[in-house]
Structure 1
């Protein structure tokens, strides 16, 4: 019985986070996406920003302006970008099985430590979207590298190394813009 209660509470928590994220998106002054759909009038280059193939770690042009986190779902790479456009850090990530749609989002919630939807203890969780009931966010697996992904399990955790997770945690506070590109 305790197990079913825990599952029920976890489900309610996920639903509440998705609802809060949805409301935060609607209330944002920059008109972010809702429910994993790109915002109306989003820059067409935000979805397919051209890459510098000679320097693949270079920030893609067309990924926006100002302070932001840029996440490429095709390259599994993140850029932490300051207000002046300078890249503070870039790093590879290991995505879950559910990707957010290209567009602009905002950090809606954070958790210092919790358990991921895959049952793995995680820390420095930075959430920014929900797709079909799956919460999407950056996190670090506690005690080791990202676990093996099983495509049949719908997960939205975008895993990063401990050092990269620490940098993300310091950078991506509530309201910071997340730009998802292909």
Structure 2
């Protein structure tokens, strides 16, 4: 059984991009029978979703005061547009790699009931970010069981995939 839990890390960054393509809206006001206009800069929220092979999604939010949707799509031409309106654009890009947090703090290990899990930090029940399959621990060597209880450090996509491939043979059949 696969359980996919996406960790969403949100970073709110306010960036002001300077270019000539400013977007303005004009509001007309009347005071003492004289009309005057007030121009304000429209704000565009850009949300970037980075999706990694380990299922983790990183989200960045930018507030742009000087760019249009077309400018943003041109700047992020290799990203997929997920949602778009005049105030917000959501872009997605899949990365064929492990997430930065997994590269720096990732472990594969087993819980007390033999479930193979992906952890941020040493294996504990409160830091599971993904579960893969139940392992028949009676077929594992004692050394390998202990290694999985302590957690196997994962730093590269290749190592991550190799561990999962090697342990697949010990998966319990439902």
TM-score bracket for the superposition, by shorter chain length: under 0.3
TM-score (structure 1 length as normaliser): 0.23
TM-score (structure 2 length as normaliser): 0.23
Higher relative contact order (CA 8 A, sep 6+): 1
